[in-house]
Structure 1
């Protein structure tokens, strides 16, 4: 019976982590709450909170998926292709949620800030630091629209 309980616990954790990703991609980081996770998974808020006791713990669900999603939308072959793909991708709500999270994580006092910095540093390595600065500027203006 212990094996089954451990397996059930892992499946529940995976279900919650997938719900975090689904809600984030559909509605943005601000929409990832215990209430929205409970509604999405059919679990109680307390049940969700036992698995992910904080927003910090919720970040672990991403496991690099934001970075993979963002880089998967971009064309790094030339600077012109990069800027074109960045601008086109900013029309995609999921891409916008990812970029908005990376930008607003500057205000976080937790590991989210470090994860965002790591992701942005990796993007800067791929795109070039000056290009990344320009792309972030473009994103800020586009997110204000």
Structure 2
């Protein structure tokens, strides 16, 4: 790793540990030439994931969209921020474990609903009502019966 201060091409690692997010490694480095220290983060490079939308348009996977949907569904519900982040992490892990380059948005939506069902039933119904585009009360009741039955 090149030193950001003196551009010497070789530095040494003083300390390595998992970063706070748990998905990367934090390395403390030192330059033998100028003596300065700096920190680097090492993260696994994932394959670029493309989401196929309902209208067959394609866009790059964006974790933020899942976060926004889950946060809206859990709005004013007794679900902690930590539980929400853990749920989003599990959803993302399931998505990447599919090991596909392109995934339909319907698959992502179903994974989100599966996770919300275990997290909070009201959040699940909120998300389902938007995701499944409930047209009337009967469609809404059918979804509630699935939860209750």
Could you state the TM-score of these two structures normalised by the residue count of structure 2? 0.27
Q: Which has the higher helix share?
A: 1
Q: Which has the higher strand share?
A: 2
- Greater relative CO, 1 or 2 (CA 8 Å, sep 6+): 1
